[in-house]
Chain A
Amino acid sequence: MSSEDLLVCLPGQRLCLSDHTHVSGQGTYERQGYIYSTLAGTVDIVDKDNVKIIEVHTSGKQTLVPSQGDIVTAQIHTITQQFCKCHIKCIGDKVLGRHYRGILRREDVRVTEKDRVEIYKSFRPGDVILARVLPITEAHTYQLSTAENELGVVTAHSEHGHLMVPISWTEMQCSKTFVKEARKVAKVVPESVQQGLNEN
């Protein structure tokens, strides 16, 4: 495509009619019979099986937002008696350019004995956790939950500053001073073991 044919579009700009030959692709959406763009960038038309797929490509990274049910990686920065506040750093395996705010309530820390949870014995500031995004109710803050065996603290540092190793689903041990600390530990299965399980 020569530079004169390059169509630059803005978010919300109507691109074309949506019918059986024109289908909306990446960076576009369909509304009331028309295809609109969601990004600011250049339009690209891909021919596939006699169907034209309209895509919009933008330079730079596409904004990625957490949606309900995603597994996110977050780092905790504040804890109180009722909840923890954290910064969401990755969604799935994509690292974000900027962090989003997440909140993890006391009732969503584990499945059993929800009211007997002590935040101080489950998380501390600086821990990196895996959590699932709950249905979104508030703007700009994502509700998280670690109420599964595979979710919880992945890496944490002890009070003396050394990395800790998980020893059970409720405890981690400092690698230098061997002091044990209570955390809600995630059951992370190493990739090699996971592959072996999948093959079988």
Chain B
Amino acid sequence: MVEDVNENTTVFPGEVIKDVKAVKGVTILGPGLKRNEDPPNTLRITRAGKLQFKPPNIYWVSHNHKRYIPKRGDLVVGIIVKKAGDSLRIDIGSGEYASLSMLAFEGATKKQKPDVQVGDVIYGKLLNAHREMEPELVCVDSYFKAGKMGPLSNDGFVFTVSLGLVHRLLDPENPILTALGKVFPYEIAVGMNGKVWVNGRNTKEVLTVLRCLETAELHDDKVIVELCRQSK
């Protein structure tokens, strides 16, 4: 039981929160929370982390997990595992492999399918993701334009980071990636599933980016910016 909810209350799955604040009977729940029915108007925690509250009525659990749970609309980096007829099976780090239709690429028709092989890296968007079914990926948006999605070059390098770091990197105000970019140019694709694809001019620079992100998991942004400034 959690008596008072403040920013840094660490909670575990199964705990129940009472005295939920609501505006006209409406409470907004973010990730990690579910509605509890036994004592009415209580919440049940489903993910371990820190319970956060934003007045007037928004609750969520912020966590730094490694296991990705597919969510609709996420942009993810995946690796092709199998080619089965008209669709590809992609490993996105979730419980089940995702399916990606060969026709879901820009300019693809039944006669002309994209040239992708097993082991290629794909940047795609999750069309739907339910817990009972395998997730479905697409590499085009609703106007059939690819944008930045599609196959990624095989010259790059794919590695896994924790989901907390992914959220930090995707924040536009985060200085890590721009600070690195000032030292040398590189290409990066960050997937919401924790997989990151990096491409650089040579192996040493790619490995530098990799080490930098590994350090960023454990240290603050300022440390990384400082390191980049020094190495310039």
Contact = CB atoms under 8 A, between A and B. Distances in A.
A103 to B, nearest CB: 16
Contacts of B134: 80-81
Contacts of B99: 81
Given A120-B128, A120-B130, A81 B37 contact: no
From B128, B132, B134, residue with most partner A Cβ within 10 Å: B132
B1 interface: no
A120 B133 contact: yes
Interface in B83-111: 99
From A79, A80, A81, residue with most partner B Cβ within 10 Å: A81
Contacts of A176: 37
Contacts of A120: 128, 130, 132-133
Nearest to A76: B132
A124 interface: yes
B27 to A, nearest CB: 14
A74 interface: no
B37 A79 contact: no
Interface string A108-122: 000000000001100
B37 A80 contact: no
Contacts of A81: 99, 133-134, 136
A105 to B, nearest CB: 15
A120 B134 CA distance: 11
A160 B35 CA distance: 9
A125 interface: yes
A79 B130 CA distance: 11
B133 A160 contact: no
Nearest to A118: B128
Contacts of A124: 132
A2 B149 CA distance: 82
Contacts of B128: 120
B136 A125 contact: no
B37 A119 contact: no
Interface in B120-136: 128, 130, 132-134, 136
Contact of A160 (B37, B130, B132, B136): B37
B157 to A, nearest CB: 31
A80 B89 CA distance: 13
Interface in A103-150: 119-120, 124-125
Nearest to B99: A81
A79 B128 CA distance: 14
A119 B133 CA distance: 10
Nearest to B128: A120
A81 B99 CA distance: 9
Contacts of A119: 133
A176 B37 CA distance: 10
Nearest to B133: A79
Given A81-B136, A124-B132, A160-B37, 16 more contacts: A79-B132, A79-B133, A80-B133, A80-B134, A81-B99, A81-B133, A81-B134, A119-B133, A120-B128, A120-B130, A120-B132, A120-B133, A125-B132, A160-B35, A176-B37, A177-B35
- In the complex, the 9 A-B pairs of residues with the closest C-beta atoms, listed nearest first: A125-B132, A79-B133, A120-B130, A120-B133, A79-B132, A124-B132, A80-B134, A80-B133, A81-B99
19 contacts: A79-B132, A79-B133, A80-B133, A80-B134, A81-B99, A81-B133, A81-B134, A81-B136, A119-B133, A120-B128, A120-B130, A120-B132, A120-B133, A124-B132, A125-B132, A160-B35, A160-B37, A176-B37, A177-B35
